[in-house]
Structure 1
Amino acid sequence: MPDLLVRGAWIIDGTGAERRRGDLAVTGGVIAEADGAPAARTIDADGLVLAPGFIDMHAHSDLAVLTEPEHLAKVSQGVTCEVLGQDGLSYAPVDGPTLARLRRQLAGWNGDPDGFAWDWRTVGGYLDRLDRSGLAANACYLVPHGTLRALVVGWEDRPATGAELSRMRELLAQGLREGAVGLSSGLTYTPGMYAPTAELVELCRVVAAHGGYHGPHTRSYGAGALDAYAEMIEVSRRSGCPLHLTHATMNFGVNRGRAEELLALLDAALADGLDLTLDSYPYLPGSTTLAALLPSWATEGGPDRTLERLRDPAARERIRAAMEEHGSDGCHGVVADWSTVQISGVRDPRLADRVGRTVAQLAADGGGTEAFLDLLLADGLGTTVLQHVGHEPNVRAIMRHPAHTVGSDGLLTGDRPHPRAWGTFPRYLGHYSRELGVLGLEETVARMTGRPARRLGLHRRGVIRPGYAADLVLFDPRTVRDTATFDRPRSPAAGIPYVFVGGTAVIDDSRPTGARPGRALRRRTTGETR
């Protein structure tokens, strides 16, 4: 007897093929043909679409999957797998001192929960912890380049020595053997920003040898965006490593209407045989930490040295000139427009009145740098922000590209986090597919399922097919939509009544079940991720 029978659904299988009306059975967590046999449970899915579970190619849930195991932000959207370890910064591999500094640096992204058991040091140890804790959705992990550099080189602005590069290569290979799916890099964040191109090439050669991919946060999304994307393409050409451009955007006024230039660059690389994919989120504002806007020299040495500079009048003036006169690298080569930088979260609750206000609004004298620096000092670098710098034609052009997949890039902490953490997938399905017709529904689902599954090398996942894992979503194509807003960002999707991970319901009749059937999916030496 099947465990589950879904009857009368519109099946969109994740390949891009046209939908078909049909039934589907699940037995032992695996999809099976519906042969008319009665099942332990039957769902009448008339009018609903049955799709593979959605895959979030860019997630910042590295701690949330452990501290908030129900993980409603993601499973309520239909996400059954997400990729952690993004932007070159996460918590493995580490030693004790490196972990302590990373916890401070990443508190704005992920929080730093009291009483949390940091009981791992390696990639394998972190993945084991995910399995022991139990997950609502499955997870993959990228070895973070900035974390490698912090562990081996430190937070200094200098090239790695030959011995240090060899050690990073060894640690990267170990993480890949332990199950990581590739390497991430964060080239506007300390300390990954200090790596020259040649270092990335050497590390990506290790990734290529293990069947993984490189997912970079490039050196610029503003004035130097095209050069930054070209650098990543060059790294892939020289290393032979597949490339996945995370949160691919063209932002700030200098890039208004220039998405086609990026897409021409990508098309030329694809025509040359480069293995290239990308992801994007369907919103105009971006999100990061306030400290990320500082010039790179101001963050050298880690959090303590950064705070020292913020107290030094000469350093503060140098920062002001870099940001308000020249366009610092932290601001992507663009002169700071403080009216676009909105506070979304603070670590210190005494600063809660700043949330929702722009840096320009915090500045009494009309100049924002002093208010910016004072807030960083008062909050110990823990502040997060929204950056209102996107352009709708660019967003739509990039999401139409055939190499495109979906990533939320959602931070889950803070008072008012970006709503993309809760709304990315239903926003694609409702706003951009149903309402605007930017992509057809079958194509939209493929970009959330089958295509990212191929990039990750997922074994028997991402497509509705007999013998594949029963990671499944049932949604109403007429009503599915995002309800998360910038004022109320923690609001679950509408129109997604059922979500299954390995055949176990994590959302059942629109209610979370609290089940934890997910696990860490590890890349094997065969190149498959299981």
Structure 2
Amino acid sequence: MTEKRPPYDLLIRGGTIIDGTKAPRFQADIGITDGRIAAIGRLDGHGADETIDATGLIVAPGFIDSHTHDDQAVLSQGLMPFKISQGVTTVITGNCGISAAPLRADMDLPMPLNLIDAPAEGRFTTFAAYLDALRHTPSSVNVAAMVGHSTLRGVTMSDLDRPATGEEIAAMRAHVEEAMAAGAIGMSTGTFYATATNATTEEIIEVGRPLGACGAVYVTHMRDESDKIMEAMEESFAIGRALGVPVVLSHHKAMHAPNFGKTKVTLPLIQETMKHQCVALDCYPYTAGSTMIRADRGMLDGRVLIASSEPHPECAGRDLADIAADWGVSKHDAALRLQPGSAIYFMMDEDDVQRVLAFDETMIGSDGIPLGDKPHPRLWGTFPRVLGHYSRDVGLFPLETAVWKMTGLTARNFGLDRRGTLKIGQHADMVLFDAATIRDAANYETPARPAEGIDTVIVNGAVTWRQGVHTGARSGQVITRMEKAAG
């Protein structure tokens, strides 16, 4: 008599497994039960409530976006098609010093805090309230959230154009303690922006004191990514040493033509520093960045493409130079008229982008801003662009390495122990894609186009994207530091 084997909830048959560890690919089936990987191997004879034929497809861990500004979007745009469609199953939020909590309803959010589009009604005064809202109204992706230092300055200080006082530092530190207790995975800073430019190194260290006892991370959009990048890096490393925590350098780059090629110096410094303390970095695979509309001269030297503008929404998708010419004003004055809003800045060299991408320890982060009809194409195309263009077409690294950079490496650096690899017991976050056809379809003219070659995306065992269509599943979970202890 043949033994009757209990069926899996979902069975993926015949795929080629790239498991997120950089190990060579192999053929296997995967059985999923209760949102977890239950078996990997030859599963002939096993039944399932649902079976997916993955013949000819790569089966990889769901991609982890190491750098997002999806803090509010995971609530207001919960289906998250711009992430799910490219295989992203987990987003790290709260970057660049900007987070959705804590905020006050009476706060007038200065740039760049307004990039997360947090409406006055329903703002979260505590980090716990924000995470509870995500649990009550799940997104289609998992969320691991950080608290932002600029947000803390905004909620605590009446004037951001100065260093914080001792009393204000203590108030901010109390907010960090609350966020850590709620499950935040770390704290980020954005000293590049006016909201935190006047924060001293000592202020950041004292505000971040609770991080060390919690095993949290310190993530930074540094003060300078151009002429003074080396000094900014040294400050970031010093903060990590003072707090005894890992440091993540956000969207590593060398901005503006006089600094092109400087990654030949920055990357060796990072590599040397890694021998003495925990340091990580991420980047996006484009020569253009995107942030709020800025009027300072350095940001306006190259091509600037307007992505969104509150006072002039009709200008989205147009070059700033053309708008300025039509209005008969300088680019500086046109930028002021267009604020608040977001823009795309062409300010990097392709050789630097490839050098940072190829650096072995570089994670992949989109840094997309989910606002308006003309966002930076990285919002929709980052991960397929790495897999298709840079891995397959340019040959920058093998596919196993590309997958590791957006899964296992990211999970390791952010302490997401149960994500990022395909192993028995892991959460069943997966993406099935065609290695021969995967590519980013989004570009600067049509930036909101789903990627090609993504067949299926699974989040916590639920099929969420299938052959170009969102299933409507919203099975994302809140990932906290406590998940590591819970197992």
Report the TM-score range of the alignment, normalised by the length of the smaller protein. Answer: over 0.9
Aligned-partner Cα distance in 2 for 1:490–1:515: 21
8 Å CA contact 2:9, 2:50 repeated in 1: yes
Q: In structure 2, which of residues 287, 304, 328 is the aligned counterpart of residue 284 of structure 1?
A: 287
Aligned-partner Cα distance in 1 for 2:395–2:260: 22
8 Å CA contact 1:483, 1:492 repeated in 2: yes
SS of the equivalent of 2:14 reads: strand
Q: In structure 1, which of residues 172, 180, 185 is the aligned counterpart of residue 189 of structure 2?
A: 185
Q: In structure 2, which of residues 211, 220, 223 is the aligned counterpart of residue 219 of structure 1?
A: 223
8 Å CA contact 1:459, 1:529 repeated in 2: no
Matches within 5 A, 1:312-323: 323=297
Matches within 5 A, 1:198-217: 198-217=202-221
Which residue number corresponds to residue 321 of structure 2? 359
Matches within 5 A, 1:456-475: 456-475=414-433
Q: 1:27 to 1:151 in 2, by over 3 A?
A: same
Alignment of 1:340 with 2:303, yes or no, is yes
Matches within 5 A, 1:261-410: 261-271=265-275, 273-291=276-294, 293-294=295-296, 323=297, 331=299, 336-337=300-301, 339-348=302-311, 350-353=312-315, 355-359=317-321, 362-363=324-325, 367-373=330-336, 375-376=337-338, 381-410=339-368
Q: 1:416 to 1:19 in 2, by over 3 A?
A: same
8 Å CA contact 2:432, 2:456 repeated in 1: yes
| C-alpha displacement of 1:415 | 3.2
Alignment of 1:436 with 2:394, yes or no, is yes
SS of the equivalent of 2:273 reads: helix
Alignment of 1:151 with 2:155, yes or no, is yes
| C-alpha displacement of 1:456 | 1.9
Paired residue type of 2:79: E
Higher strand share: 2
Aligned-partner Cα distance in 1 for 2:135–2:316: 38
Q: 1:514 to 1:117 in 2, by over 3 A?
A: farther
8 Å CA contact 2:31, 2:39 repeated in 1: yes
SS of the equivalent of 1:437 reads: coil
Q: In structure 1, which of residues 461, 476, 498 is the aligned counterpart of residue 456 of structure 2?
A: 498
Aligned-partner Cα distance in 1 for 2:167–2:449: 49
8 Å CA contact 2:10, 2:51 repeated in 1: yes
1:493-517 superposed Cα distances (whole Å, 9 cap, x missing partner): 1111100001001102331101100
| C-alpha displacement of 1:264 | 1.4
| C-alpha displacement of 1:159 | 2.0
8 Å CA contact 1:429, 1:480 repeated in 2: yes
Which residue number corresponds to residue 94 of structure 1? 103
1:417-456 superposed Cα distances (whole Å, 9 cap, x missing partner): 1000000000000000000110110011011111111122
Aligned-partner Cα distance in 1 for 2:226–2:110: 28
1:353-387 superposed Cα distances (whole Å, 9 cap, x missing partner): 464122365146684223233x24xxxx3221110
Which residue number corresponds to residue 260 of structure 2? 256
Paired residue type of 2:8: P
Aligned-partner Cα distance in 2 for 1:371–1:529: 53
Which residue number corresponds to residue 17 of structure 1? 23
Q: 1:25 to 1:38 in 2, by over 3 A?
A: same
SS of the equivalent of 2:372 reads: coil
Q: 1:202 to 1:112 in 2, by over 3 A?
A: closer
Gaps of 5+ in 1: 295-322
Gaps of 5+ in 2: 1-6
Paired residue type of 1:253: A
Aligned-partner Cα distance in 1 for 2:486–2:281: 19
Which residue number corresponds to residue 408 of structure 2? 450
Could you tell me the percent identity over the aligned residues?
37
Q: 1:104 to 1:289 in 2, by over 3 A?
A: closer
| TM-score, structure 2 normalization | 0.93
Aligned-partner Cα distance in 1 for 2:446–2:60: 28
SS of the equivalent of 1:430 reads: helix
8 Å CA contact 2:384, 2:440 repeated in 1: yes
Aligned-partner Cα distance in 2 for 1:529–1:289: 39
Aligned-partner Cα distance in 2 for 1:361–1:154: 35
Q: In structure 2, which of residues 435, 438, 454 is the aligned counterpart of residue 477 of structure 1?
A: 435
Which residue number corresponds to residue 93 of structure 2? 84
| C-alpha displacement of 1:351 | 4.6
Aligned-partner Cα distance in 1 for 2:111–2:137: 24
SS of the equivalent of 1:214 reads: strand
Aligned-partner Cα distance in 2 for 1:203–1:212: 13
Which residue number corresponds to residue 135 of structure 1? 139
Q: May I ask how many residue pairs the two structures share in their alignment? A: 477
1:215-268 superposed Cα distances (whole Å, 9 cap, x missing partner): 111111222222212211121122212101111111211211111111011012
8 Å CA contact 1:359, 1:372 repeated in 2: no
| Cα RMSD for the two superposed structures | 2.0
| TM-score, structure 1 normalization | 0.86
